[in-house]
Amino acid sequence: MVSTQSIGTPMGNRSPNQQLLPLTAKINSRDRLEIGGCEVTALVEQFGSPLYILDEETLQTTCGQYRDAFKRYYAGESQVLYASKAWSCLAVCAIAAQEGLGIDVVSAGELLTAQLAGVNPDKIYFHGNNKSCEELQGAVEVGCITVADNWRDLETLAKLAASETPARVMVRFTPGIECHTHDYIKTGQLDSKFGFDPNELDEVFTFIRQQTTLSCIGIHAHIGSQIFELQPHYDLADVIVKAFAKATHYGLAPTEINIGGGLGIRYTEADDPPSIEAWASTACTAVAAACKKHKLPLPKLLCEPGRSLVGTACVTAYTVGSQKVIPGVRTYLAVDGGMSDNPRPITYQSVYRVLAAGKMSAPLTETVTIAGKHCESGDVLIKDATLPKCETGDILAVPATGAYNYSMASNYNRVPKPAAVLVRNGEANIIIQRETDQDLLRHDRLPERLRTQE
């Protein structure tokens, strides 16, 4: 007997990051995939494809699990921040803010998005290893917290800020902790472009102490992304608390520790990430133990999840186009998107699952490679995917596309970026308009001498 597609079922009270699909996913009476009470094939009919489909309930649930777990496991004050680089848009930032989260931004554009989404500047933290003078000036004017990544950050902020309103900074350093993840998304090892070398901290703290325009409010470190191990997060606590203690020895008065994020999500059945509960419990327990060891009162504890907040909440829908059968080798099934709306497979060799959204109980009889439409041999979304027999016009759904898909999308081959809809209780609202051909040409300029003469 040939198996049929399975979307799985929500696993008790386990985290959304441990699911393959949004929490509201189900197969309806028409044998079609539903997200947020909306039929995926119907959404494509209404809004076109490719289409990002974001489930509001899943995103809210994930925010709540992080927020509540830190309150439960940490006796001191805590604040969860959404690392908006995962998907920075007004709707996502507004939902996170409504759930009590702050926002981590890494550019003037992300800062503006957080502001317009209604986020309090006291809950906005500005990261980045090469902030421009204009971006630092903007951070000072907005009044958000700047995470100082290097000497240029500190020296520029010291000149831009005023003594009566010192710039609030967190000092980021590399903790020297490595974990098992892709090299491109490791950030905790000493050989990283992010953060001060730990051997520089004495000099850094001395410099800040001498500046009347700088106020060191805390210490930051981050070890990477898509991590399934808990031990590195436990190890980080002692390293970062030691740096916090060192800052106090230099006469500074930091009050916050930011342990970053990095918890992974489930992209395929083979992935088995820890739950948000387990991650939060480990982090909170470790920080409390380190503070006790170093005889420090509990500081305010911050974390910055991104992927594990928004990744599982989104599904991308595609329409099947052409097919190419190479006998005895491979069958290519091409869709109307690819590396321009999801660059992770070609960039990180990331692996995804795929479903035929309009025939959920059909037997899985085909092994195909899902190819993108772009003029690039490497534009392959999924190799050796198992699907029912699919024809031109069928709708495919790829789960776990909320993180680093829209945010890393491009116009490669001058393909317009997809639309995104927010779904809840059978209602779908556009949160990102589909780009048009006019959008692609909006910033082009043609010199007069190149214009065709009639």
In this structure, what token pair is assigned to residue 33?
Answer: 């995939």
Q: How far is CA 317 from CA 22, 53, 240, 255, 320, in A?
A: 14, 7, 42, 45, 10
- Extract the tokens encoding 152: 């240029």
DSSP H helical segments within 23-107, as ranges? Answer: 40-47, 56-73, 90-98
Residues 213 and 318 in one domain: no
3-class state of residue 321 by DSSP: strand
**Cα torsion angle, 377, 378, 380, 385, sign:** positive
Specify whether 348 is located in the same domain as 285: no
Q: Residue 453 has what pLDDT? A: 63
Same domain, 351 and 417: yes
Give the DSSP letter string of 90-115.
HHHHHHHHHTT-EEEE-SHHHHHHHH
Dmax of the chain from CA atoms?
82
CATH number at residue 302: 3.20.20.10
Residue 177 is assigned to a structural domain of this protein: yes
Query: What CATH number is associated with residue 41?
Result: 2.40.37.10
Clarify whether residues 334 and 347 are in a common domain: yes
Per run of 10 residues, the mean pLDDT along the chain (length 454 residues) is 63 81 97 98 98 98 98 98 98 98 98 98 97 97 97 97 95 79 44 87 97 98 90 92 96 97 94 96 97 96 97 98 96 98 95 97 97 97 97 98 97 97 98 97 94 72
Q: Which of the listed residues 259, 278, 310 is the one where a domain comes to its end?
A: 310
Q: Please state whether the predicted TM-score (pTM) of the whole model is above 0.85.
A: yes
Q: Distance between CA 204 and CA 169 in Å, rounded?
A: 12
pLDDT for the residue 4? 74
**Rounded Cα gap, residues 50 and 280, in angstroms:** 35
Beta strands in 131-278 (DSSP E): 145-148, 167-172, 214-220, 256-258
Q: Mind telling me the catalytic residues?
A: 375
295 and 408, same domain (yes or no): no
Strand partners, 146: 126, 169
Please check whether residues 50 and 67 belong to one and the same domain.
no
Whose CA is closest to 440, among 419, 420, 415? 415
Q: Does 291 share its domain with 192?
A: yes
Q: Which of 279, 310, 341 is the last residue of a domain?
A: 310
| Nearest Cα to Cα of residue 254 among 199, 207, 301 | 301
Amino acid at 83: A
Domain assignment present for residue 1? The answer is no
> Letter for the amino acid at 135?
E
Domain-ending residue, one of 295, 310, 325: 310
Query: In the chain, how many domains are there?
Result: 2
Residue whose entry in the numeric block shows the structure tokens 């008065």: 253
* Beta strands 419-424 and 51-55, pairing class: parallel
> Is the residue at 235 inside a domain?
yes
Residues 72 and 46 in one domain: no
pLDDT at 194: 85
Residue 266 tokens read as 């489930």
Distances (CA, A) of 341 to 51, 408, 439: 9, 7, 16
90/211 same-domain check: yes
Residue 228 structural domain:
57-310
